[in-house]
Chains A and B, each alone.
Chain A
Amino acid sequence: MAREAHPALPEFDYIKPKTLAEASQFLSEHAGESRPLLGGTDIFVRLRDGAWKENKFLVDVKGLDGTDVLTFDEQTGLTVGAAVCMNRLSSFPAVKEHYPLLAEVCDTVAAYQLRNRATVVGNICNASPAGDTVGACLLYGGILNVFNVGGTRQEALNTFFVGPGKSVLKPGDIVTSLQLPIPPKGMIGKYLKLNRNNRGDLAIVGVTAAAYPNQDVPSGVTVRMALASVAPTPLVVSAIEDYFKQEKLTSDTVQTAAQLAMDSCKPIDDVRGTARYRSLMVRNLAKQALTALLEKM
């Protein structure tokens, strides 16, 4: 059957709860047929494509307690409410000053209009391996604050992702905010993304790299890297961090590290690129990203 050119959204009801408890209760009572709604920029595309046929309810959690918060504290770091859109986040002065890599990755997502709706917490909760903002949040040591009518808890991002579109979240869980600790002093970062066109596309491959001085390792500098679109989940390349414990970041070690990045990924063939192409591009982009860090140091 030919696909409709402009499919309308399938029918569902829209629920606007007044409290987190009410929202969580509804989501757990309607497990499997309801989802929390933030910006909707992924949900609407998926629904139009025919995914989630069992969905009957979208539960709008924007504006609920703590979801609009955007604050920076010198001790505890940055708190990003779930409903804070990417444009608001990337233009927040404390983000520009203390988390420039986060501002940089937000500005690579789609286009300005979409970033007025799209949220970083939504990008994380979708658990897409291609999420542009996820790598930076992983490298900043992000933690999610999760509300459930059964109790609140925190989930570290490095153990949050389970598979494509799958996370540790359970029915009734609502991520209210993302917490990023104060970055290590002198941290620099770079995000490089390979697109089918110059701007506005999903990542065929995304490479987020960061480095900071660290006297606790023999090399004196910690280097970390996260990859997008090359494994079932967003991937932190532990081999890179291990390698640069001993080795200094130089134009020679960059070559070896780029190969480590390539060896760590497990991409698939899909409409945006083949597995082989992705692997090779990881090596190229990793080299470019690490070289960019070297030049910034």
Chain B
Amino acid sequence: MTIHTITCTVNGESEVVEVPAHWTLLQMLREKLGLTGTKNGCAGGECGACTVMLNGAPVNSCMVLGVECDGATIVTVEGLVKDGQLDPVQAAIVEAGGVQCGFCTPGVLISARSLLDRNPNPTEDEIKEALVGNLCRCTGYVRIIDGIKEAAKLNEPVVIKE
């Protein structure tokens, strides 16, 4: 097994990580950095539970190698909280009752934050389109979508890009 040493910024902290070449970013986050908020659902780029921001854009972290992230900036669900304050999208989805089992929630939050960063006032169809890659088996999506609409109304996008 070949180990690579990489440097990246994760949730604002500079990290030096020794990562096996065949490990995904998802494995690296969970097993090297202890950031278990990011979930392993399908390990095939379909369910979106592992969604994180990579250099400002949401990606499936199961479909990126850890070693590819040398020099990259990564934000996980843990990084959405700023100074103890929830991101508006977190607060609004909690308030709307958009969390049941919670397994999809970290990925949903990252996708939602990314949507509001690029489109502060999305329509319902735009919200649904942004969530195509985030499967939720509990909520039926209605309350998640309600929460994202409310978060958009708060109109206080938190810049989480470096």
Q: Which residues of A contact B (CB under 8 A)?
A: 6-14, 39-41, 44-45, 48, 58, 60, 87, 110-114, 116-117, 199-200
Contact = CB atoms under 8 A, between A and B. Distances in A.
Interface of B: 1-2, 4, 20-24, 27, 40, 42-46, 48, 51, 54, 57-60, 62-65, 67-68, 111, 114, 129-130, 132-134
Contacts of B1: 11
A48 B43 contact: yes
A49 B44 CA distance: 10
A110 B44 CA distance: 11
Contacts of B48: 111, 113
A116 B57 contact: yes
B21 A12 contact: yes
A114 B134 CA distance: 11
Contact of B2 (A10, A13, A45, A116): A13
B34 to A, nearest CB: 18
A63 B48 CA distance: 26
Nearest to B42: A6
B133 A45 contact: no
B64 A113 contact: no
B44 A48 contact: yes
B60 A114 contact: yes
Contacts of A12: 21-22
Nearest to A198: B132
Contacts of B4: 14
Given A113-B48, A116-B57, A200-B133, A60 B22 contact: no
Contact of A112 (B20, B23, B46, B129): B129
B63 A10 contact: no
Nearest to A197: B132
Contact of B58 (A11, A40, A45, A113): A113
A60 B130 CA distance: 28
A39 B68 CA distance: 10
B132 A14 contact: no
A6 B40 contact: yes
Given A45-B45, A112-B129, A116-B59, 6 more contacts: A11-B1, A40-B63, A87-B57, A111-B133, A114-B45, A114-B59
A48 B65 CA distance: 13
Contacts of A200: 46, 132-133
B43 A14 contact: no
Given A40-B64, A44-B63, A8 B133 contact: no
B161 to A, nearest CB: 14
A139 B90 CA distance: 44
Contacts of A58: 21, 65
Nearest to B43: A6
